């Protein structure tokens, strides 16, 4: 019943009683209107594992599916958050990927945010869940919906073949840095395959050494070279990989900031990160956000959203 990470704002509720929570939710949806405050109070303060127990209890005592009931009672962004909270992590990721590729056009940001930041084990599970839920291979879906080198990077990430040891081969790190430099800054045109081979395959510790070496050779951070050498979705995915290697929480803090700054809010990104990271590393994301932007994530969400949607996000944020 514990949280899936140990740096989340959502932690196991003490004195948990699935049947009592199911009853509370049933009462919240009874009669005319819905008591959203109760829904927030229950669902934003239970772990994913506890929410699964509530779903079971609801089905047993009411004979209906909790997600279906909530779906018919709620709407908009608030509904999207609530339904996301009811899913197991890989189910939510698979759902977000499916939704990103639905209809005309693709929400590349979803493919990048998820595939660049998940571990091998997480990606393997997402692939299994996707196949089971949607009766199609995720690789085929991504392949049919993307193209060129961007597609090749995503397919590489989907193989979940990254070395996850913490072995650093010094000589190879220097060679990797040289190879990337020669594939980009040092020539006319860019050999993106070299970037893929190094960035999608090597382990985190090794890549941090590569980035240091790269700066020595080129006089630039690798992120700056990627921005100079590439554009569009390919630039976005390589930058996401580099940023996640350096610090996942910092990557998500930046994604949250960009989803809210300026005019309008990219709610899909805001919701996806708040739901997916709430019980994994939200505490670290908040700390990075404050350090990077001099304001709290809480204050940003508060100023950028409204109504029950705002209330549930602020609960997931876990206060200032």
Give pLDDT tens digits along the chain (320 positions).
777 888 999 999 999 999 999 999 999 998 778 999 999 999 999 999 999 999 999 999 999 999 999 999 999 999 999 999 999 999 999 999 999 998 767 799 999 999 999 999 999 999 999 999 999 999 999 999 999 999 999 999 999 999 999 999 999 999 999 999 999 877 766 789 999 999 999 999 999 999 999 999 999 999 999 999 999 999 999 999 999 999 999 999 999 999 999 777 899 999 999 999 999 999 999 999 999 999 999 999 999 999 999 999 999 999 88
- How many structural domains compose the chain? 4
Domain holding 95, by residue range, is 89-159
Cβ pair 176, 210 in contact under 8 A: yes
Residue 147 burial (CB count, 10 A):
10
CATH classification of the domain holding 296: 1.10.220.10
Classified as helix, coil or strand, 169 is coil
Query: Residues 155, 182: one domain?
Result: no
Q: Give the domain-ending residue among 189, 218, 246.
A: 246
Cα angle, residue 248 at apex, residues 278 and 124 outer, rounded to 5°: 80
Q: DSSP state, 280? A: T
| 33 within a domain of the structure (yes/no) | yes
Tell me, yes or no, whether 178 and 237 share the same domain.
Answer: yes
Whether 79 is covered by a domain: the verdict is no
CA distances from 29 to 21, 54, 71, 279 (A): 13, 15, 11, 26
User: Is 195 found in the same domain as 262?
Assistant: no
Whether 176 and 242 map to the same domain: the answer is yes
Q: How far apart are CA 238 and CA 225, in angstroms?
A: 11
Residue at a domain's end among 221, 246, 271:
246
6 occurs within a structural domain: no
Distance CA 221, CA 205 (A): 17
pTM for this structure?
A: 0.95
What is residue 2's DSSP assignment?
-
**39 and 25 belong to one structural domain:** yes
């Amino acid at each position: 019943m514990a949280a899936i990470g140990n740096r989340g704002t959502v932690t196991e509720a003490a004195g948990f009683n699935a049947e009592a929570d199911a009853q509370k939710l049933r009462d919240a949806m009874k009669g005319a209107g819905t008591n959203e405050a109760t829904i927030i109070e229950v669902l934003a303060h239970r772990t994913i594992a506890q929410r699964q127990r509530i779903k079971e209890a609801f089905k047993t005592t009411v004979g209906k599916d909790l997600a279906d009931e909530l779906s018919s009672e709620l709407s908009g962004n608030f509904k999207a958050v609530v339904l996301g909270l009811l899913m197991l992590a890989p189910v939510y990721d698979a759902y977000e990927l499916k939704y990103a590729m639905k209809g005309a056009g693709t929400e590349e940001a979803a493919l990048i945010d998820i595939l660049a930041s998940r571990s091998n084990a997480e990606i393997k599970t997402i692939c299994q869940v996707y196949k089971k839920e949607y009766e199609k291979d995720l690789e085929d879906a991504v392949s049919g919906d993307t193209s060129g080198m961007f597609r090749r990077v995503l397919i590489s990430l989907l193989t979940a073949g990254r070395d996850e040891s913490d072995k650093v081969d010094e000589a190879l790190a220097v060679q990797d840095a040289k190879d990337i430099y020669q594939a980009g800054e040092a020539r006319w045109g860019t050999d993106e395959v070299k970037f893929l081979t190094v960035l999608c395959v090597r382990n985190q510790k090794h890549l941090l050494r590569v980035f240091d070496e790269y700066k020595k050779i080129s006089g630039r951070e690798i992120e700056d070279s990627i921005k100079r050498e590439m554009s569009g979705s390919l630039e976005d995915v390589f930058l996401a990989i580099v940023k996640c290697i350096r610090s996942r929480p910092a990557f998500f803090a930046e994604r949250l900031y960009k989803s809210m700054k300026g005019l309008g809010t990219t709610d899909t990104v805001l919701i996806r990160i708040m739901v997916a990271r709430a019980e994994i590393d939200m505490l670290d994301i908040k700390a990075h956000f404050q350090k990077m932007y001099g304001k709290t994530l809480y204050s940003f969400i508060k100023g950028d959203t409204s109504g029950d949607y705002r209330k549930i996000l602020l609960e997931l944020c876990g206060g200032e």
